[in-house]
Amino acid sequence: MAHANQVPVEAGAKDFAIADIQAWAISFPVPEHNSVRLGVGRARKRDAVVVKVTTAGGLVGWGESHHGRAHTSIAHLVGHALRPLALGMDATDVHGVWRRIYDAQLAAMGTGAACAMAMSGIDMALWDIRAKAVGWPLYRLLGGASRPLRAYAGGVALGWQEPAALAEEAAAHVRAGYRAVKLRLGDSVERDTARVAAVREALGPGVVILADANTAYTLDDARRMVPVLGELGVGWLEEPFPAHDYRNYELARGYGSLPFAAGENHYTRFEFNRLIDDRAVDVLQPDLSKTGGVSETLRIAAHASAYKLAVHPHTSMTGINMAATLHVLAAIDGDGYFEADVSRGNLFRDELVATPFAIGADGCVRPPEKPGIGVEVDEAFIRDHPAIEGPAYA
C-alpha cells in the first residue's frame, strides 16, 4: 500500500531512489593507558554504528546512529526494521523518509529511544547525499556559513582522576587552544568539589569550566553541589539526574542560579518539548545521532530559538556525527559550543574518518568544506573492526 507521506520518485530524479541502506556495528578495545573513569564506569571498549545509504544513481551518504550501549541491536534495527520503509523513496525527500519512519515506528509503536537512534543515522546519511548532490558543504545547504564555532574540550575525557592530575590534563587542553573544558562529576560531593576547585585554581578565572554529572546525583547531592559549583564559576551542570526525572530538575532549579544542561538523552522534538516547557533547563544538548538526526535537531533548535535558549549539541562517537554537528552549529541560531572529543585514542574520530576538526588559537573550530558532511569513511576500517559484544564500561 502506498503510504500517504511517501512521495513518489519523479521521473527526472530516479537516480536519487534509495537503493540500499547498510548499517555496521563496530568496536575497538580501549587499552588501559587510554581508559577514563566516569560516572558511567571505566571505558573498556568503544562501540559505534555506521550507516551507509546508496542511491540508484550511485551517490553514497554516511551517517551515525548512536550505539545506545546495544550497538549490534541498533545496527540490526537500521538494517532490518527501517531499511524496508525507506527503500525506493527519494533520498532527497529527507523529511518524507523521516515522516514515514515516524508514522510506522515512533507514532504507531511509541517513541522508542532505539528507533530514534536508528533513524538518526539514516537521516544524517540522507543530508550527506543532498549536499553532495549539489556539491555544497552541508552547512551551506542548511543556510549557514563557515564561521568560527566555540569549542570545549569534552568527550570521554577529564574523568575521575586525582585533582592534580586532572588539573594538568585540563591545562594541557587550554595550552592546545581550548578556552572551555568539561569535567566529569557524579562521584562523591567531596571529590567532585576537590576536582573542580583544583581545575579552577590551575586555569584561573578566564577559562570556562563546565560540569557533567552523567545522571549520578541524588536530589541531596544537587542541593549541596549547586551552590558550590556556582561559587567556582562553573558554566553549567549537565545531567545531574536521568532525563525522565523531570520533577528533580524542577526542584533543583531552586538550589541556586547555576544553569542546568540536558538533552543528550532526550529523544525527538517531543521530549525536548517538555524539557522546554518545564523551564528547568537552560542549555539544550540534542545529539544528532540520537535525537532524530540533522532534521530533528534543526526542529529542536528552531523551537529553542523562540525562547532564546542555548543549543550546545552533544557529540559522540565517530567523526561522522562530529562533522555533521559542526555543519548544524554553523547553520542554527545562537553561539552554541561544539563538544570537541579530546579523548585519547578514539579511532572512530581519527581512523574511521580523518579527524574532522582542529582547535584554533582562538578556541574555535570550523565546519568541513568538502561536499556533504565532508568526511570520507574508510570502509576497510569498518571491516577490520567488527562488533565486540558486551558492556563498554565496567
Binding site for Mg ion (CB under 5 A): 212, 238
CB of 155 to Mg ion, least distance (A): 10
**In the complex with Mg ion, which residue's Cβ is closer, 138 or 392?**
392
Radius of gyration, alpha carbons of the chain: 20
| Phi-psi region at 374: left, alpha or beta (left = phi > 0; alpha = psi -120 to 50) | left
**In the complex with Mg ion, which residue's Cβ is closer, 128 or 238?**
238
H or E segment at 28? Answer: strand 18-29
**In the complex with Mg ion, which residue's Cβ is closer, 64 or 238?**
238
- CA torsion sign, 74 to 77 to 80 to 83? negative
CB of 101 to Mg ion, least distance (A): 26
CB of 288 to Mg ion, least distance (A): 15
User: Residue with C-alpha cell 542549555?
Assistant: 283
Residue facing Mg ion at closest CB distance: 212
**In the complex with Mg ion, which residue's Cβ is closer, 126 or 328?**
328
**In the complex with Mg ion, which residue's Cβ is closer, 101 or 317?**
317
**In the complex with Mg ion, which residue's Cβ is closer, 238 or 341?**
238
CB of 130 to Mg ion, least distance (A): 29
Give whole-number Cα distances, 226 to 201, 258, 292, in Å. 19, 6, 31
CB of 310 to Mg ion, least distance (A): 15
d(CA 260, CA 269): 19
CB of 334 to Mg ion, least distance (A): 19
d(CA 163, CA 251): 30
Residue 226 CB partners (closer than 8 Å, separation 6+): 237, 252, 255, 256, 258
DSSP classification of residue 390: S
CB of 34 to Mg ion, least distance (A): 19
- CA torsion sign, 254 to 260 to 331 to 177? positive
Cβ count near 277 (within 10 Å): 10
Half-sphere exposure of 391 (CA within 13 A, CB side): 6
Among candidate residues 318, 316, 292, the one with its CA nearest the CA of residue 118: 292
Hey, which residues does 27 pair with through a beta bridge?
47
**In the complex with Mg ion, which residue's Cβ is closer, 93 or 271?**
271
- Cell, residue 364: 574555535
CB of 6 to Mg ion, least distance (A): 36
**In the complex with Mg ion, which residue's Cβ is closer, 18 or 199?**
199
CB of 154 to Mg ion, least distance (A): 8
CB of 123 to Mg ion, least distance (A): 22
Residue 91 CB partners (closer than 8 Å, separation 6+): 16, 17, 18, 53, 55, 59, 61, 97, 126, 129, 130
Give the residue ranges of DSSP H helices in 54-187. 71-76, 83-86, 94-101, 108-109, 113-134, 138-141, 163-175
**In the complex with Mg ion, which residue's Cβ is closer, 212 or 296?**
212
**In the complex with Mg ion, which residue's Cβ is closer, 40 or 251?**
40
Give whole-number Cα distances, 332 to 123, 176, 315, 325, in Å. 18, 27, 16, 11
